[in-house]
Amino acid sequence: MVTRRVFGLKPVSQDALADGISDLLPRIETALVHACQFSAHCPERLGDAIRYSLLAPGKRVRPSLALMAAEAVGGSIDQAMPGAVAVEMVHAYSLVHDDLPAMDDDDLRRGRPTTHIQYDQATAILAGDSLLAMAFEHLATAINDPLLAYRCIRVLGKAAGPECLVGGQAEDLAAESGGEQTLERLEAIHRRKTGALIDASVAIGGILGGAADEALNTLYQYSCPLGLAFQVVDDCLDHSASDTEMGKRTGKDAAKGKLTYPGMMGLSDARRYADSLISQAIAAIDVFGNDAWRLQWLAGFVRDRKR
């Protein structure tokens, strides 16, 4: 077996995505397709909208993190796949609902029309509702050990709920209407809206990979700065990249007066901040040695991504 490790912060090109997870992506896609096969009881249009939302071309960062975390603690990809599928379902649901006119009002996602544009608002809402429910059903049925299933359900439920993802979205919407414009408020929003699901992805992978409490804490020391860095980079790209490059509308956050890292810190300082967060994440998992090479690589990809 060839061991690999990513040292330091060597830039990762956009084309290198396949190098870090080329063997994982097809397995993730197969699992996602398998997870959204429905009986005749599911209305055809709803089923199509669910598949349109879940199977849309994407980076699959969150399910990849779950699989990589399991591998880092000595587990297997197969053990963690139910968790990978569930976190991507929750992520897809959150995007469908965030894109609605009542939320962020976006018409382009991953280079194609958002679900409510492709179908209609009511169908999009129901597709998002379905994906959220399916995530927990999948954890309950695809994980053989009831205790592990319970632990994963608890982690994901917390991350998707009012104190984390949903609460972060609520606070993000509220921030558009005014209030204090501080870096502390911005970070509080995105540690919940973006970071919580990244934390959950890594934690669920660790749980299914058999991690002890100490290892789970180490994984959190990785995922916490990584999740924040992901949002900082996203804000920078929204400021500097084109719609075509990003596969979604750019510049809308600034136009709507939303809190962003470039808006608060300036683009150069925001990029430097992302670099420092990625350095923290990589340093945290050094104790795992070569088993964490994929997690190290993905941190570099998050920092260097162009979309």
- Residue 20: helix, strand or coil by DSSP? helix
- Residue 303: helix, strand or coil by DSSP? helix
Alpha-carbon distance 36 to 55, whole Å?
9
Amino acid found at 120:
D
**CATH classification of the domain holding 117:** 1.10.600.10
pTM for the whole thing? 0.90
- Residue 251: helix, strand or coil by DSSP? coil
Tokens (6 digits) for 213: 């409490």
Task: Give the pLDDT confidence score for residue 250 in this predicted structure.
Answer: 59
Tokens (6 digits) for 135: 């995530």
Range of the domain at 217: 14-304
Alpha-carbon distance 140 to 145, whole Å?
9
Could you read off the pLDDT of 256-294 as tens digits, one per residue? 667 899 999 999 999 999 999 999 999 999 999 999 999
CB 192 within 8 A of CB 171: yes
Task: Give the pLDDT confidence score for residue 29 in this predicted structure.
Answer: 97
Alpha-carbon distance 255 to 244, whole Å?
18
Asked, for residue 8, whether it belongs to a domain, the answer is no
Per the DSSP assignment, residues forming a β-bridge with 115 are none
Asked, for residue 74, whether it belongs to a domain, the answer is yes
Asked, for residue 101, whether it belongs to a domain, the answer is yes
Alpha-carbon distance 142 to 166, whole Å?
25
Task: Give the pLDDT confidence score for residue 244 in this predicted structure.
Answer: 57
DSSP H/E element including 46: helix 44-54
Asked, for residue 9, whether it belongs to a domain, the answer is no
Asked, for residue 7, whether it belongs to a domain, the answer is no
Tokens (6 digits) for 110: 């991953």
Asked, for residue 159, whether it belongs to a domain, the answer is yes
Task: Give the pLDDT confidence score for residue 258 in this predicted structure.
Answer: 78
**pLDDT averaged over every residue in the chain:** 90
Instruction: Give the count of domains, the chain.
Output: 1
CB 213 within 8 A of CB 77: no
Task: Give the pLDDT confidence score for residue 110 in this predicted structure.
Answer: 83
Asked, for residue 5, whether it belongs to a domain, the answer is no
DSSP state of 100: S
Alpha-carbon distance 108 to 98, whole Å?
12
Cβ-based neighbours of 126, under 8 Å, separated by 6 or more: 46, 49
Per the DSSP assignment, residues forming a β-bridge with 201 are none
Identify which of 94, 100, 206 has the alpha carbon closest to the alpha carbon of residue 155.
Answer: 206
CB 114 within 8 A of CB 106: yes
How many Cα atoms within 13 Å fall on the side-chain side of residue 46?
14
Asked, for residue 6, whether it belongs to a domain, the answer is no
Amino acid found at 6:
V
pLDDT (tens digit, 0 to 9) for every residue of the chain, 307 residues total?
333 434 343 444 444 444 668 889 999 999 999 999 999 999 999 999 999 999 999 999 999 999 999 999 999 999 999 999 999 999 999 999 999 999 999 999 988 999 999 999 999 999 999 999 999 999 999 999 999 999 999 999 999 999 999 999 999 999 888 778 899 999 999 999 999 999 999 999 999 999 999 999 999 999 999 999 999 999 999 887 555 554 556 556 666 667 899 999 999 999 999 999 999 999 999 999 999 999 999 999 999 987 6
Could you read off the pLDDT of 130-167 as tens digits, one per residue? 999 999 999 999 999 999 999 999 999 999 999 999 99
Alpha-carbon distance 261 to 271, whole Å?
9
